[in-house]
Amino acid sequence: MNAKQRVIVVTGGGSGIGRGTAKVFAAAGDTIVIADVNEPGGNAVVAEIRRLGGRAEYRHVDVAVDASVEELAQGVEAQIGPADVLVNSAGILQNASEIETMPIAEHDRVMAINYRGTYLCCRAFAPRMARRGSGCVVNISSTSAVHAMPLLAYGSSKAAVQMLTTNLAVEFGPRNVRINAIMPGYVLTEQMQARIDAGKRDPRSLALHSALGRMVTPADVGNAAYFLCSEAASCITGISLPVDAGYLGAVSYLHHPGLRGVLPHRADKGPVF
C-alpha cells in the first residue's frame, strides 16, 4: 500500500496492458483514472476495480486529438486531483506487411495514436507535474522498437516513443518529474488473442521465442510500471525497460546456426528456430 493515495491516469486503460496496469496500481491503494476512447470498455474496468475494493473513474479521451487530451488533463486536475502518475498505454497494433502493400492510412493511424498520442499526453500532463515539483510518466514502447520486424509503422512509432522518453526525462528531470518507458515483449492482450484466433499469430512460436518460454501478461507490465513510479526507482529516469520474458536475448541466441542439438530441453517443446 502507498503511504499517499496517488492519482494515476492510464490511457488505453479499458483493455490490455492499460487494464492490467490499472489493476496493479488500484490494488496498492491508488485512485485510477481510466482514460479511453472506448467508453463501455473503460467503464467495465472501472466497475471491475470497484468490485475489488479500489477507487476508479472513467474519462473519455481520444489521444490522437489535441483538444481531447487537454480536456482530459484539465478535467482530471479539477475534478479528481492533480495526476501523480501518467501511464501512456493507448495504442494500436498492425498486421505484418511490406511498404508496398501497407495502406498509408493505416500507417498514419498507427503513428497518430502510438506516437503522437503519447506526445500529446506527455505535453498535457508533464508540465503540470513539473509545476508541482513531482510526478512520474511511463510510456509503453515495444521490443519492435529495437529489433527489425515487418511492422513498419508500429515499430517506428515505438522507436519514436523511446527517443521521446529519453528527451523528456532530461527536460523534466530538474523539476523532479521522472519519465521512463517499458518495452513489452509479446503480451497476451485481448488484441493479441484476437489475432491468434484469426490465425495471424502463432501462440506457440510467440512463447518459444523467449528465454522463459512464455508470453508476457498485462499484469507483468503493470508491475514494472508500478516499480518505475515507486520510491524504489527514485533515481531511475530516461530508460526503456524490457519486460519481455527474455525475448530480446533469446531471439538472437536461439537463431544461432550452431545451436541445433545443444538444448535438448527445448527440443521437447519443438524445433529450435
Residues marked active site are found at: 154
Instruction: Please give the backbone phi and psi of residue 20, each rounded to the nearest 5 degrees, phi first.
Output: -60, -40
Give the three-state DSSP class for 41. helix
Give the three-state DSSP class for 243. strand
From the number of C-beta atoms within 10 Å of its C-beta (0-12, 13-18, 19+), residue 231 rates as: exposed
Cβ contacts of 175 within 8 Å, gap of 6 or more? 129, 130, 131, 133
Q: Are strands 177-184 and 135-140 parallel, antiparallel or unpaired?
A: parallel
| 48-81 exposure pattern, b = at least 16 Cβ within 10 A, e = fewer | bbeeeebbbbbbebbbbeeebbebbbebbeeebe
Are the beta carbons of 154 and 144 closer than 8 angstroms? yes
Q: What angle do CA 15, 18, 23 make, to 5 degrees?
A: 95
Q: Where are the beta strands (DSSP E) in 89-152?
A: 135-140
